[in-house]
């Protein structure tokens, strides 16, 4: 089983102590975002969890706690973008974040810290030229500290009548602009020892050496653990795509332990924070010792399904040990 921590919120920045407590307890509970009274319980035993993907914009609060995850394979998706507090209200200065990125990479290795330069947006302040120059500056500073950068182009979302495009004073990036950005970003990235891929994008940019990303990627854990991860016990079969994600998303199935409207980073483009009022309510519910993030189980309303030990395909994957020389695929 793979754990995503989390697309929905910044667990390394705000909730790493909660996750460490869940590891000590050996399990975590997760609400179904579509049917919130449905709660699933999953084992966090290192024998069951084959890997953890951490998503963050600032893992500084977690850097001194990494030993708590020593029994797990893990890597970070570290989002580092060129925007100011007009768009990312509560994030530290970019130079501070770059130093945090370098510190994390030095601790765990550059192959376990993927840089996310996403989403890319264009408006009067953040022009195409600005994006290229900002990427060049960041890539130069991060040279040697990561092996891959993932990009995406801003998409329109509407939450309760709130348009992301309107909020950011931006618009859809044209195919011509996407190609220009991709060509320059690829050139700069490769000069700094990085490959490039795109997150959940339809556009084919292979002519620039850019692939489609698999952000929750079982192949990384297979390399880290010298094994193959299979959804079947008796023979190898690749872990399935996460069908809850968009069609263009190539991530494999995982259990996301976060919860929407709990992130305090204040990013205007965030699809997981749709209501300031709900965010404030959820923060008040945060309990370090709860099995749920920013919530508690209500025995009168909630239906709990315990997946531990059931062997269902969401709870288990199976390891096939490999000859190290066989693990030569390109990621």
| CB-side neighbour CA atoms (13 Å) of 23 | 20
Structural domain count of the chain: 1
Instruction: Please report the pLDDT score of residue 237 as a whole number.
Output: 84
- Rounded to a whole number, what is the distance in angstroms from the first to the last CA of the chain? 20
- Cβ burial, residue 301 (10 Å; 0-12/13-18/19+): exposed
pLDDT band at 310 (very low <50, low <70, confident <90, very high): low
* Residue 331 located in a structural domain: no
User: Could you identify the residue written with the tokens 């754990």?
Assistant: 3
Give domain status of residue 213, yes or no. yes
Residue 71 lies in a domain: yes
Domain assignment present for residue 260? The answer is yes
pLDDT at 314: 46
The two three-digit tokens of residue 235, written as one number? 């023979």
Q: Is the Cβ–Cβ distance between 146 and 77 less than 8 Å? A: no
Of 103, 91, 21, nearest to 64 (Cα)? 103
Task: Annotate 51-69 with b (16+ C-beta within 10 A) or e (fewer).
Answer: bbbbbbbbbbbbeeeeebb
* Domain coverage including residue 240: 2-326
Query: What's the pLDDT band for 324 if we cut at 50, 70, 90?
Result: very low
pLDDT tens for 150-209 read 999 999 987 667 788 998 999 999 999 999 999 999 999 999 999 999 999 999 999 999
Find the CATH number of the domain harbouring 260. Answer: 3.80.30.30
The structure tokens listed for 87 are 């768009």
**Distance between CA atoms of residues 52 and 221, nearest Å:** 9
Let me know if residue 278 belongs to a domain. yes
| pLDDT single digits (tens) 202-261 | 999 999 999 999 999 999 999 998 888 988 877 888 888 999 898 899 999 999 999 999
Helix (H, G, I), strand (E, B) or coil at 76: strand
Q: Cβ distance 22 to 44 under 8 Å?
A: yes
| Position 320 pLDDT exceeds 80 | no
Q: What does pTM read for this prediction?
A: 0.94
Which is more confidently placed, 237 or 132?
132
Where are the alpha helices (H) located in 62-163, listed in sequence order?
94-108, 128-142
Quick check: helix, strand or coil at residue 150? strand
Q: Is the pLDDT of residue 326 over 60?
A: no
pLDDT of residue 325: 44
pLDDT tens for 110-128 read 999 999 999 999 999 999 9
* Spatial separation of the C-alpha atoms in residues 62 and 70, rounded to whole Å: 13
């Amino acid at each position: 089983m793979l754990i995503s921590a989390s697309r929905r919120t910044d667990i390394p920045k705000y909730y790493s102590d909660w996750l460490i407590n869940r590891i000590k307890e050996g399990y975590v509970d997760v609400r179904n975002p579509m049917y919130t009274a449905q709660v699933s319980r999953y084992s966090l035993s290192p024998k069951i969890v084959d890997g953890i993907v951490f998503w963050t914009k600032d893992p500084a609060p977690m850097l001194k706690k990494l030993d708590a995850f020593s029994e797990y394979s893990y890597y970070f998706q570290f989002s580092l973008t060129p925007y100011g507090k007009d768009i990312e209200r509560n994030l530290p200065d970019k130079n501070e974040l770059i130093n945090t990125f370098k510190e994390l990479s030095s601790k765990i290795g550059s192959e376990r810290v993927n840089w996310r330069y996403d989403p890319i947006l264009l408006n009067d302040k953040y022009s195409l030229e600005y994006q290229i120059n900002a990427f060049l500056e960041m890539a130069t500073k991060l040279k040697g500290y990561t092996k891959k950068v993932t990009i995406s182009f801003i998409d329109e979302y509407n939450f309760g009548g709130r348009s992301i495009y309107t909020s950011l004073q931006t618009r859809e990036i044209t195919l011509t602009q996407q190609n220009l950005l991709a060509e320059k970003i690829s050139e700069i990235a490769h000069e700094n020892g990085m490959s490039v891929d795109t997150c959940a994008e339809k556009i084919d940019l292979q002519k620039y050496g850019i692939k489609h990303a698999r952000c929750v990627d079982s192949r990384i854990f297979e390399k880290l653990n010298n094994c193959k991860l299979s959804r079947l016990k008796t023979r190898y079969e690749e872990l399935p795509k996460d069908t809850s994600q968009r069609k263009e998303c190539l991530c494999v199935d995982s259990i996301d332990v976060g919860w929407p409207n709990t992130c305090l980073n204040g990013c205007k483009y965030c699809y997981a924070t749709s209501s300031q009022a709900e965010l404030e309510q959820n923060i008040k519910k945060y309990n370090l010792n709860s099995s749920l993030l920013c919530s508690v189980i209500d025995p009168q309303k909630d239906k709990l399904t315990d997946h531990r030990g059931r062997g269902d395909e969401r709870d288990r994957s199976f390891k096939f040990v490999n000859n190290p020389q066989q693990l030569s695929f390109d990621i």
